Amino acid sequence: MATEGTGRRASVVSMRPRGGALARHGDGGLDPERLATALGWFSLGLGAAGLLAPGTLARAIGLKGAGVSRTVTRAVGLREIATGVGILAERRPVGWMWSRVAGDVMDLALLGAGFAARRVDRGRLAAATAGVLGVTAVDAFCAEQLRGLGRLSVHADADGTLRVRKRVTVNRPPDALYHFWRDFTNHPRFMERVESVQVSDDGRTHWRARGPGGVALEWGAEVTDERPNERIAWRSLVPAPFRHAGVVRFEPAAGGRGTTVTVELEYRPPGGALTAAAAKLIGYAPEQQLQEDLRRFKQLMETGQIAVAGGAR
């Protein structure tokens, strides 16, 4: 397993049976949390314009003379301000982003009605309508991306390799999370089935864990690439119960709301798809365990303890 040595985003590289690499697989695209923050500030600015200068705003978008009252424009401004505050106040404002989409639809209806009026600037009105359509698309994209951030993503390649991706936001700074994760002896504290991790003088690690039915599992691993306070990449060493590799990234969350921790894991289960399906049925699929372990990691780093049935420890 390796990651790109340059660039801002680390990418997981797939494993070939002979050690070759498939195409790199990375994030790509915009960070939806940062995009939501930008849209939140945009709402505040637009809302302030509607509230403080309703006539100027109506003239700028071509609605001057369309019978749109200052009260209506101010009401739209208040709606934008409330939406902006809601977006900026929440870590993952999915609901508020969909509220922006609903507001965009209302604005489009208002602009559409303006075309029926006689005394309007149809050129400005058309430009404003096109702008709102574009913003509506961005708002809907951002809302959908935010909704998917907490989901567990699983993809199967043609050669049987499974790629898993999970993201969680932790209310701690990146350097604290990086240093805790980098000390691999800490992993049994939040990885439920890992019993111990030993670090050798050459930096390699030896892992002991419990498999299905309490079967003891052991394997070695090594760090293949890292950037302090930003990312750590690793891969298992032969022999291993199953070959796997991964990368964890620590990125400041939008709006100073802690750190976004993203883990990408890829593995090739022994026995192929049939074994993977059976492991999932009994709750031993790596993707299921990754989701649970990241939940425990978040709890441990934010509260110092992990909630379990019957109390916390």
Greater confidence (175 vs 115) lies with: 175
Between vectors from CA 203 to CA 202 and to CA 205, what angle results, nearest 5°? 115
The range of the structural domain enclosing residue 177 comes to 151-305
Q: Are residues 54 and 163 in the same domain?
A: no
Q: Are residues 181 and 96 in the same domain?
A: no
User: Backbone phi, then psi, for 244, in 5-degree steps?
Assistant: -150, 160
Residues above pLDDT 90, as percent of the chain = 34
| Residue where one domain finishes, among candidates 87, 116, 148 | 148
Confidence at residue 1, expressed as pLDDT on a 0 to 100 scale: 37
Greater confidence (251 vs 278) lies with: 251
Are residues 232 and 248 in contact, defined by beta-carbon separation less than 8 angstroms?
yes
Residue 12: DSSP 8-state: B
Confidence at residue 217, expressed as pLDDT on a 0 to 100 scale: 85
Q: Are residues 229 and 103 in the same domain?
A: no
Question: Encoding tokens for residue 107?
Answer: 């604005």
| Residue where one domain finishes, among candidates 133, 148, 163 | 148
Amino acid at 55: G
Residues above pLDDT 70, as percent of the chain = 74
Rounded to an integer, what is the distance from CA 4 to the centroid of its chain? 20
Asked whether residue 299 carries a pLDDT value surpassing 50, the answer given is: yes
Residue 20 lies in a domain: no
Are residues 37 and 255 in contact, defined by beta-carbon separation less than 8 angstroms?
yes
Burial readout 276-301 (b: 16 or more C-beta within 10 A, e: otherwise): beebeeeeebbbbbbbebbebbbbbb
Confidence at residue 65, expressed as pLDDT on a 0 to 100 scale: 57
Give the total number of structural domains in the chain. Answer: 2
Residue 260 lies in a domain: yes
Q: Are residues 40 and 144 in the same domain?
A: yes
Name beta bridge partners: 265. Answer: 164, 246
Q: Are residues 263 and 295 in the same domain?
A: yes
Reported as a single tens digit per residue, the pLDDT across 101-152 is 999 999 888 888 878 777 777 888 889 899 999 999 999 988 887 776 666 6
Greater confidence (62 vs 37) lies with: 37
**Cα separation, 92 vs 79, whole angstroms:** 20
Q: Are residues 169 and 127 in the same domain?
A: no
Reported as a single tens digit per residue, the pLDDT across 198-227 is 999 888 999 998 876 678 888 999 999 999
